[in-house]
Amino acid sequence: MLSGKTILVGITGGIAAYKICELIRMYKRANANVLVVCTPNALNFVTKLTLQNLSQNEVAVEEFDVKDFKPEHISYADRADIMVIAPATANTISKIARGICDNLLTSIACAFTKPVIIAPAMNCNMWENPIFQENLHKLHYEILEPESGYLACGYEGKGRLCSLEKIFDKTVEILTYKPLNGKKIVVTSGGTVEDIDPVRYISNYSSGKMGLALADTAKNLGAEVTLITTKDVSRRYNVIKVKSALDMKSAVEKEFENSDCIIMAAAVADYRVKEISPQKMKKTSDDEITLTLVKNPDILKNLCDKKKNAFPPDLLSSAPLIIGFCAESENLIENAKEKIKKKGCDFLIANDISRKDIGFSSDYNEVTVLDKDGNMKKLERADKMTIAKQIFKVIYG
Ligand code: CTP
């Protein structure tokens, strides 16, 4: 199943390290080449000799144990198709999230450009620590959350390494399931920012998380990705930072010709200030002021019109798929059905922004995907990466 693939297993210093011996055997049984790198603390829980025997490769721990012309961390990063860090301690996760490279494992993670799976395991209080959670959420890797139960430290709670089968299956899925291979996917995200003067603006509460999850997922599924966003995002794929609706429109239009799919997840301001004041507006003696707003172009509708004009029915299959979002605070499905007709897009993802547990700012979402033929598929509440994966499944089958 995994022949021809090289898996780099990173082991950090937690009691679950002993379980990784079996994971290595599972990879070997599936014919993978397994490289192992340990943090120095991991060797308190499992021996180098055991790992060497099981992986049938040398086990690396020291950064300056240079065997060829390349520094060790670069050589490892180049050789592997995937890196699986299990168990991943709070310490190692936080260091990777902050770009710290103080041992071989963290240095490899920093230099690694291919998919990474992280399977955390720790005490439940460490897992719930808000600083740790913030660090974990900075990572755009595949996180296999720990399970709840009896922990080695004597506590009951969330923190046990997830099952080895789950780690194995996720590795196989990432290495072999690439339904978006060869596709160029463009995603927009974040709320546009419409200037009033040099210090003030009009915007909205969009966090850009759903668009980012779609872009990350598309990348994981093999696509070439361009993310056009109003947020500061650092990713290894192409990220174009924009500010206003007009900036976003020209960035998206530049991508139109060469894309297979455009997903408009951004919350585009419907109006902008008619005249941006070049100087900071001064307070006046009046109790009210009036700002004149003018309509922004509807980027999504323009794209759909452009597609209709540029691709006659016999060429339609080679045109980019155009996907819209529909943010509603009431009558979700009714409004969504009307919106997909009005805009003319291929799919519309409807989400209810009145709920606090999903949508804007949340890491979770629950959406209904509508297609232009009137079919609907509800995707139950899940984290945004899972929702993103399910959206691509509905779109591409
Ligand atoms: N959209 C766009 N350009 C705009 C406004 C919205 O491209 N000027 C896109 C959004 O990115 C989204 C879809 O249109 O994919 C629907 O956005 P939404 O805010 O739900 O709808 P609106 O068209 O703005 O209509 P309303 O605000 O009246 O619901």
> pLDDT tens, 300-320?
999 999 999 998 888 888 899
pLDDT at 70 over 70: no
**Atom of ligand 1 lying closest to residue 300 CA:** 7
pLDDT score at 360: 77
* Cα 156 to ligand 1 centroid, rounded to whole Å: 46
Mutate to test the pocket of ligand 1, among 270, 295, 305, 340 (most ligand atoms within 8 A of CB): 270
Question: What are the catalytic residues?
Answer: 153
pLDDT score at 353: 84
pLDDT score at 315: 86
pLDDT at 90 over 70: yes
With bands split at pLDDT 50, 70 and 90, how would you rate the model's confidence at 65?
A: low
CA dist 218 and 169 (Å) reads 19
* Mean per-residue pLDDT of the chain: 94
**pLDDT of 217-250, one tens digit each?**
999 899 999 999 999 998 889 999 999 999 999 9
Going by alpha carbons, the residue nearest to atom 27 of ligand 1 is 270
Average pLDDT over residues 20-43: 97
Which residues have any ligand 1 atom within 6 Å of their CB?
245, 264, 266, 268, 270, 296, 298-300, 324-327
* Cα 252 to ligand 1 centroid, rounded to whole Å: 15
**Atom of ligand 1 lying closest to residue 299 CA:** 7
With bands split at pLDDT 50, 70 and 90, how would you rate the model's confidence at 175?
A: very high
pLDDT score at 388: 96
pLDDT score at 66: 59
Which domains does the chain carry? 6-176 (3.40.50.1950), 184-396 (3.40.50.10300)
**pLDDT of 136-147, one tens digit each?**
988 989 999 999
Mutate to test the pocket of ligand 1, among 202, 248, 298, 321 (most ligand atoms within 8 A of CB): 298
Average pLDDT over residues 353-368: 85
pTM of the model: 0.87
pLDDT score at 67: 66
